[in-house]
Amino acid sequence: MAENNKTILLVEDESSIRGAITAYLEHEHYDVVQAEDGVIALDKFNSQEFDLVVLDLMLPRLSGEQVCQAIRETSEVPIIMLTAKGGIEDRIIGLELGADDYLVKPFSPRELVARIRALFRRVVTGDEAERGRIDLGDIVIDTIGRKVFENGKELDITSSEYKLLYTLASHPGRVFSRMELVKKVLGYDFDGYERTIDSHIKNLRAKLGDDSKHPHWLFTVHGVGYRFESGKEHHDEPGSSA
Ligand code: CA
């Protein structure tokens, strides 16, 4: 039997949906831990290691947004947000708070499994970073030497640009807000520094030969921040049309 050893936290208050998703994920050999509201979700999240979180947006006690924000304070675990409507605002809320992907209800369990697999493929794991190399097709990041190569040629980038590219590229497809990038790259949070991120992005684009109008790697998500696409695979692009 194919064991994939991945544990998923499933946060959903509607018991029929929770039961159906659990059955489907267990059939796919995922271990599933269920939580029926936001408070229980955080308790469970803090009590063991998870490989991925499936998070409903509308929840009793603590909303999906609040749970997502709380998780992001300490963890880069992949999160798929379940939203009731497909409105742009719901989508932006989920992505702005640091979800990696979203799925609009009603969806088929098969679709959810496809998204989970895609997310596991594209999110860079700790193992991969420890091995010292993140291969993104034309771009390769040497995480030990902290160098970036494009088609084998080393790019001359600053330490802040490296951190920015590493942060974005380890989570292809995920939208990072400017504020989140300020904290990760500059290490402090202060409103004025959001513009610094914009100028680092501009410099990185120039060095990667990327074009803000027709980007290959670094995409602007208007009103939110930035995301990176690996170019290794094409997937549904959350937030791309915003
Ligand atoms: Ca709900």
Give the confidence band of 162 by pLDDT, cuts at 50, 70, 90. very high
Q: How far is the CA of 6 from the centre of ligand 1 (A)?
A: 24
Report the DSSP pairing between strands 139-142 and 133-136. antiparallel
Binning pLDDT at 50, 70 and 90, where does residue 68 land?
Answer: very high
**Cα 84 to ligand 1 centroid, rounded to whole Å:** 8
Question: 1: burial class by Cβ within 10 Å (0-12, 13-18, 19+)?
Answer: exposed
Higher pLDDT, 199 or 2: 199
- 39 CA to middle of ligand 1, Å? 14
pLDDT > 90 in the chain, percent: 44
Please tell me the distance between residue 238's alpha carbon and the centre of ligand 1 in angstroms. 21
Q: List the single range of 49-63, 75-89, 135-149, 191-205 with lowest mean pLDDT.
A: 75-89
Per-residue pLDDT band at 52 (split at 50, 70, 90): very high
What pLDDT is recorded for position 125? 63
Q: 70: helix, coil or strand?
A: helix
Tell me what the pLDDT averaged over the chain comes to: 84
Cα(53) to centroid of ligand 1, in Å? 15
Question: Torsion-angle region of residue 10: left (phi > 0), alpha (psi -120 to 50) or beta?
Answer: beta
User: What residue spans define the domains of the chain?
Assistant: 7-122, 132-228
Residue 60 CA, ligand 1 centroid: distance in Å: 8
Q: Is it true that domain 132-228 has CATH number 1.10.10.10?
A: yes
User: Would you state the pLDDT for residue 85?
Assistant: 66
Protein residues with C-beta less than 5 angstroms from the ion ligand 1? 13, 56, 58
- What per-residue confidence (pLDDT) applies to 130? 63
- For residue 197, the one-letter residue type is I
Cis upstream peptide for 215 (omega within 30°): no
- pLDDT in the model for residue 112: 95
If one compares 139 and 18, the residue with the highest pLDDT of the two is 18
Residue 81, pLDDT > 80, answer yes
For residue 18, name the pLDDT band (cuts at 50, 70, 90).
very high
Distance 237 CA to ligand 1 centre (A): 24
Q: With bands split at pLDDT 50, 70 and 90, how would you rate the model's confidence at 7?
A: very high
Superfamily of chain region 7-122: Response regulator (3.40.50.2300)
User: pLDDT, tens digit, for every residue of 183-234?
Assistant: 888 877 666 778 889 999 999 999 988 888 888 889 998 878 898 887 654 4
d(CA 102, CA 108): 13
* pTM, full prediction: 0.73
> Higher confidence at residue 22 or residue 241?
22
Question: What average pLDDT score do residues 108-136 get?
Answer: 80
CA of residue 197 to ligand 1 center, whole Å:
35
